[in-house]
Amino acid sequence: MEEKERIIQLRKELHAHNYRYYVQNSPTISDREFDFLMKELQQLEERHPDMDDPNSPTRRVGSDLNQEFRQVKHRYPMLSLTNTYNEQDVRDWFESVERGLAGEPFEVCCELKYDGLSISLIYENGQFVQAVTRGDGVQGDDVTENVKTIRTIPLVINQGTSQSPTLTGTATTDKQPSFEIRGEILMPWKSFERLNAEREAAEEPLFANPRNAASGTLKSQKSEVVAQRGLDAYLYYMLGDELPSDGHYENLMTAASWGFQVVPRNGNCIKKATSVEEIFDFINHWDKERKNLPVATDGIVLKVNSMRQQRALGFTAKSPRWAIAYKFKAERACTRLVEVTYQVGRTGAVTPVANMEPVQLAGTTVKRATLNNEDFINSFDLHIGDYVYVEKGGEIIPKIVGVDVENRPLMSQPVIFVRCCPECGTPLVRIEGEAAHYCPNDSGCPPQIKGRIEHFICRRAMNIDSLGPETVDDYYRQGLIHNIADLYDIRVSQINGDGTREKSAKKIVASIDASRNVPFERVVFALGIRFVGETSARLLARHFKNIDSLMTANADELQEVEGIGEVIAKSVMAYFSNEENRNIVERLRAYGLQMSLSEEQMSATSNRLAGKSIVISGVFEHHSRDEYKIMIEQNGGKNVGSISSKTSFILAGDNMGPSKLQKAEKLGIKIMSEEDFLSMISE
Ligand code: IVH
């Protein structure tokens, strides 16, 4: 076969495999075979630049170049829906449709209301050409490159069956459809949890809910970032001059056959109804079942099914008369604020908490909600005894979203943020430019002391796994421990419950003992210096090599370390300038903790990888990923997370992700096996 023909054939095949993998969840070839075909296509495309296709399957990986979003006017304005919260509103709407259609029979399409952000996708002759955000409804941002990386969105529509795809891109004479399709971009719960876990590890602020995460991601200037974040999309409305059918539901089914994802996999997420009772069956079913969906939903959307009838009903200034959104109500509750208490964290940050009369909210009883900080309290002019509205933000942490000022009890007292630490009485401080208040008494304030000990023993720090928060609290109350160094003084006889808990006491002492071998860089992390996370601790440990050099380093010396900025440098200096901290470090040294890099780490240091940016991908046989990270750094190289044209090579184990492979191939970046890497650094 001629190479150009092969390109067309491969594109067709890869689009179809992509659909089967991501939309249908039933791949017919292995990842490896997929990667092979992709590689072949990339090589052929490189040889035939005249065959360029912006919708080639090779274009899904995104780019690390910064982009600006152009403003694009919507062909049809993107309106919103009227929201309702009760049965009566739904009945009223149903009756208004009956009246509007003068008694003509009609069907209502019942759908899930996805809680993400709306998107408009334009297809011309079966090809994806543009994606625009809602913006102000009249015009939005052109986010085409970002949307292209969402694998469930077809780049080329499939008008054949999924078994024998007849995708466009060939010199076919069949007319391919042109249309606009709208839907919701979402971050599935799984991707959201993974993303927040990664951000927590990197000490970056967390996203409050999947909607914010999806929105932040879609607006990212680098499409490569979008490609890695696992966004998804459900399409809920097709528009255009020549639609396949007069039925909205039927159009969505056609869209599904073209390769669009219109409902989550869990089935019966869309239904046509002809009576209010059927509508309520659907609402009641999903009110309970939605917690099992892979994405967040916040209601049900009801649409008159016939497009002709939709046109007849028309729009009000803001929203269509032919549709309505029923919002699930259990998500918001109204209850009374009884008291505000304050929590003090490990770093001394003080968080106000609303204590309320218990109320049912999305299946659980809620009696506490975060109030964030003083500004938040003031913004509501909150008074004790107020009726407050509570919501579960993205169904995670309950939060107060409003106050019923009309029902405020007479003579009620405004909430005034505490001036002194509720735990130790020390006057609080508010750092300029920050919203939080801090208790500065870090060495005498109980929750800070216990928090630091809990941090010290955690798995990623000293990994003293026989201890947990309850035991720490218990030992602290007994006066056994006041700081992290006291742990090493604990004797079996002090914690064996007069002999009744001898076995567990021995285990605890043994695991504290074992922590003396934990490497220096984790000791630096375990100290709990503010802003020094795992990565900065490693950088500091590797640079200064021992605790004495680190303790005496000045701001300039600290900032010489790549990745250490002014904030961390100041915090490190503040930590070691405190005499109590220095005493603790001396005691830890005396107890035998690792206060310098090991011999092995010292001797392994080389400059073989100096100036090299290396991406690690896949599963390894000889060492863990973390060990490889360390080896790279020890040899002067830099471990980076994503592939770009600056990547020197990829250290690849088994099952390297297809998108990384694809990108590496595209940029011509060398892929190195574990064995080759090991022999290279041991030369
Ligand atoms: S139809 C003319 N269907 O809800 C209105 N919207 O205010 C067309 N949404 O921002 C919208 N799921 O992004 C429709 N199944 C669904 C939906 C849905 C979520 C969002 C949409 C819009 C908001 C409506």
Which pLDDT belongs to residue 266?
Answer: 59
Which atom of ligand 1 is nearest the CA belonging to 320? 2
State pLDDT tens for residues 43-97: 999 999 999 899 999 888 777 676 788 889 999 999 889 989 889 999 999 999 9
271 flagged as catalytic: no
pLDDT at 581: 94
pLDDT at residue 214 is higher than 80? yes
In the chain, the percentage of residues whose pLDDT exceeds 70 is: 94
- Looking at every residue in the chain, the average pLDDT score rounds to 89
Cβ pair 651, 635 in contact under 8 A? no
Is the pLDDT at 204 greater than 70? The verdict is no
Residues of the chain with CATH 2.40.50.140: 332-430
Confidence of residue 147 (pLDDT cuts 50, 70, 90): very high
Distance 393 CA to ligand 1 centre (A): 19
Among 12, 113, 222, 399, the active-site one is 113
380 appears as a binding residue in the annotation: no
pLDDT category of residue 258 using cuts at 50, 70 and 90:
very high
Enclosing H/E stretch for 70: none
Pocket of ligand 1 (CB under 6 A): 79-81, 111, 113-114, 118, 184, 236-237, 301, 320, 323, 325
Q: CATH: 3.40.50.10190, 3.40.50.720, 3.30.70.260, 3.30.70.270. Which one for 606-682?
A: 3.40.50.10190
Q: How far is the CA of 282 from the centre of ligand 1 (A)?
A: 17
The confidence score (pLDDT) of residue 173 equals 45
Query: How many Å apart are CA 330 and CA 391, to the nearest integer?
Result: 9
Give the pLDDT of residue 376. 92
Q: How confident is the model over 626-666, as pLDDT tens digits?
A: 778 878 887 888 888 888 888 999 999 887 777 788 888 88
CB 302 within 8 A of CB 110: yes
In this prediction, residue 396 carries a pLDDT of 61
CB neighbours of residue 295 within 10 Å: 23
| Residue 303 labelled as part of a binding site | yes
Encoding tokens for residue 492? 């079996």
CB 604 within 8 A of CB 631: yes
Q: List for the chain the helix, strand, coil content (%; round to 5).
A: 40, 20, 40
pLDDT in tens, 394-434: 546 688 889 999 889 989 999 999 999 999 999 999 977 77
In this prediction, residue 625 has a pLDDT band, given cuts at 50, 70 and 90, of confident
Instruction: Give residue 383's identity as a one-letter amino acid code.
Output: H
- The ligand 1 atom nearest the CA atom of 81: 7
Answer whether residue 615 shows pLDDT above 70: yes
Q: State how far the alpha carbon of 673 is from the alpha carbons of 611, 625, 630, 636, 666, in Å.
A: 20, 13, 17, 19, 19
Average pLDDT over residues 441-453: 92
Burial class of residue 13 in the structure, from the number of CB atoms within 10 Å of its CB (0-12 exposed, 13-18 middle, 19+ buried): middle
What architecture does CATH give domain 446-516? Answer: Orthogonal Bundle (1.10)
Please say whether the beta carbons of 264 and 222 come within 8 A. no
- 332-430 fold: OB fold (Dihydrolipoamide Acetyltransferase, E2P) (2.40.50)
User: Which residues, 6+ apart, have CB-to-CB distance to 266 below 8 Å?
Assistant: 289, 292, 293, 294
2 φ, ψ (degrees, to nearest 5): -70, 150
Q: Does pLDDT of 286 surpass 50?
A: yes
pLDDT at 163: 37
CATH number listed for the domain at residues 3-51: 1.10.287.610
What is the longest distance spanned by two Cα atoms in the chain? Answer: 89
Query: What is the predicted pLDDT for the residue at 164?
Result: 35
Burial code (b: 16+ CB inside 10 Å, e: under 16) for 179-205 equals bbbbbbbbbbbebbeebbeeeeeeeee
196 CA distance to ligand 1 middle (Å): 26
Name the band, by pLDDT with cuts 50, 70 and 90, for residue 202.
low
The average pLDDT across 484-506 equals 93
- Mean pLDDT lowest for which of 96-105, 412-421, 559-568? 559-568
Q: Which residues belong to CATH 1.10.150.20 in the chain?
A: 446-516, 520-603
Q: What are residue 182's DSSP bridge partners?
A: 120, 237
Q: pTM of the entire structure?
A: 0.57
Residue 173, classified by CB atoms within 10 Å of its CB into exposed (0-12), middle (13-18) or buried (19+), is: exposed
Indicate where the chain has its CATH 3.40.50.10190 domain(s): 606-682
CA of 114 to the centre of ligand 1 (A): 7
Q: Is 81 annotated as a binding residue?
A: yes
35 annotated binding-site participant: yes
* pLDDT over threshold 80, residue 384: yes
- For residues 552 and 318, the model is more confident at 552
Taking the centre of ligand 1 as the mean of its atom positions, its distance from the CA of residue 118, in whole angstroms, is: 7
* Both structure tokens of 565: 């900025």
Q: Which atom of ligand 1 is nearest to the CA of 184?
A: 13
Can you identify the CATH homologous superfamily of domain 71-156+176-274+292-327? DNA ligase/mRNA capping enzyme (3.30.470.30)
Q: What is the pLDDT of residues 389-404, one digit of tens each?
A: 998 755 466 888 899 9
Take atom 2 of ligand 1 and give the residue whose Cα is closest.
79
Q: Which atom of ligand 1 is the closest one to the Cα of 78?
A: 2
CA angle 222/23/271 to nearest 5° reads 120
SS3 labels along 590-658: HCCCCCECCHHHHHHCCCCCCCCEEEEECECCCCCHHHHHHHHHHCCCEEECCCCCCCCEEEECECCCH
The pLDDT assigned to 62 comes to 78
Average pLDDT over residues 221-243: 91
The answer to whether the annotation marks 40 as part of a ligand binding site is no
CATH topology of domain 520-603: DNA polymerase; domain 1 (1.10.150)
Q: Where exactly does CATH 3.30.470.30 map onto the chain?
A: 71-156+176-274+292-327
378 in Cβ contact with 347 (< 8 Å): no
> Which contacts qualify for 284-290: CB closer than 8 Å, 24 or more apart?
286/112, 287/328, 287/330, 290/112, 290/328
Q: How far apart are CA 456 and CA 463, in angstroms?
A: 8
Amino acid 131: pLDDT: 97
151-179, pLDDT tens digit by residue?
Answer: 999 999 986 544 333 443 333 446 889 99
Q: How would DSSP label each residue in 551-589?
A: HH--HHHHHTSTT--HHHHHHHHHHHHSHHHHHHHHHHH
pLDDT tier, 330 (very low <50, low <70, confident <90, very high otherwise): low
CA pair distance 26, 39, nearest whole angstrom:
22
Comma-separated ranges of CATH 1.10.287.610 domains in the chain: 3-51
Tokens of 292: 């099992």
